[in-house]
Amino acid sequence: MTDDSRDPRADWRHDRIGSALRGENPTVLRRLTAGFAVIGDVQFLPGYAVLLTDRPGVQRLSELTRPQRTAFLADMDRLGEAVERACRRLDPAFRRVNLEILGNTDGFLHAHVWPRYAWEPAELVGGPVWLYPRTHWTNPAAEHRLGEGHDRLRRAIGEELDRL
């Protein structure tokens, strides 16, 4: 995820969870049991998605009750499978998905779902996505910024979420 405060249209980015709860977060794909499936702000790996908790103020998985944790992790699994199915259907070079709960930059509970592809650079394909240059997040190429060109991908992931 990125937080480009220079963009006056990006107010929802300052409160991703609150804006999702209010129906104002344009990246929301679906409301799930314990959170929101959202498409990532950057798409240098097409299909990148994030699961946001639906509980404002929660920073860590351990702050949830055991049933809430189970629901969040089940939603992460569902989103991961939806991304896998959609990306496999849309790109024959799809390899797998990586699922991560990190929380080092954004201070709210969220999980990253990263599709991985055979066309990735050889020096990056076998490592964590965080080895990609920082500019991929902070100053992405135009085709990698979330936009209308990703509508087909958004629809595909949403349809898979509906099936699961």
The pLDDT confidence band at residue 12, using thresholds 50, 70 and 90, is confident
> pTM to 2 decimals?
0.90
Does residue 2 fall inside a structural domain? no
pLDDT tens digits, residue range 37-91?
999 999 999 999 999 999 999 999 999 999 999 999 999 999 999 999 999 999 9
Q: What is the sign, positive or negative, of the torsion defined by CA atoms of 127, 136, 109, 20?
A: negative
Does residue 148 fall inside a structural domain? yes
CATH number, domain at 109? 3.30.428.10
Domains: count for the chain: 1
More confident residue, 103 or 164: 164
If 0-12 CB within 10 Å is exposed, 13-18 middle and 19+ buried, where does residue 163 land?
Answer: exposed
Does residue 3 fall inside a structural domain? no
Does residue 134 fall inside a structural domain? yes
Residue 82 belongs to domain spanning: 11-163
Task: Name the one residue in this structure whose structure tokens are 């809430």.
Answer: 68
Query: In Å, what is the CA distance from 147 to each residue of 4, 44, 62, 142?
Result: 15, 12, 34, 9
- Say if residue 30's pLDDT is above 50: yes
Mean pLDDT of the chain: 91
